[in-house]
Amino acid sequence: MAERFTSFGADPITTARRLLGQRLVRVVDGRRRAGLIVEVEAYLGREDRAAHTWGGRRTARCESMYLPGGHAYVYFTYGMHHCLNVVCGKADEGVAVLIRALEPTEGLEEMYRRRRAARRTTDLCSGPAKLAEALAIDRSLDGIDLRRDAGLKIERLRARALPARRIETTPRVGVAYAGPWSHKPLRFLIRGNPHVSSGPRR
């Protein structure tokens, strides 16, 4: 059994790069659903116009983003989708990493059952809403401690971040409202991986 990933104390860009290639695990009724993290986005808190905590905004929705690194921030968007973020840094910084895509490795039968629209393995978790649906991630998991919780965790498969040549960097997806921040290179994906989402490519 792999050890848990616990390196959540760094800034969101460093944490985002370190998360690539680690394994996200959801346990439901004793059964695992898991996948390798292949795409992430960094959100830099108060200064970042695309972050839910921009300008120090603090609401019931994003309160868990102010927890210490290692907690989950799960939000509901467009009245239909959940998205999973990994809080990083120190308490009250309000910074996090959005998990955008996984390469499914375990529990694919259960994932297909939940993602009935998926026709291929590459359709299961190739986007933040898709992976949340496939892994049964919802607001009930908001604020949980990923270092201790039995139902949601990240397993460490790599001691170090992937080498730079294996990481592609692009602007984030769906943040056109953020002005200049919409162009910042804060989306990181494993180069050439077929399970990443259909966002912009370099």
Beta bridge partners of 36: 23, 103
Residue 43 has a pLDDT of 98
State the pTM of this model.
Answer: 0.96
**Which stretches in the chain have pLDDT values below 50?**
none
What's the confidence (pLDDT) of residue 123? 96
**Check: CATH 3.40.225.10 for 12-188?**
no
* C-beta of residue 86 within 8 angstroms of C-beta of residue 96: yes
pLDDT score, position 140: 97
pLDDT of residue 80: 82
Measured distance CA(120)–CA(3) in Å, rounded: 30
Beta strand 167-170 with 72-77: parallel, antiparallel or unpaired?
Answer: unpaired
Distances in Å between the Cα of 148 and the Cα atoms of 43, 90, 154, 191 are 24, 18, 10, 31
Residue-range domain boundaries for the chain: 12-188
Q: For residue 116, what are its two tokens?
A: 């009935």
Question: What is the 8-class DSSP label of residue 162?
Answer: P
Q: What is the pLDDT at residue 78?
A: 73
User: What is the per-residue pLDDT for 79?
Assistant: 74
pLDDT tens per residue, range 73-91: 999 987 789 999 999 999 9
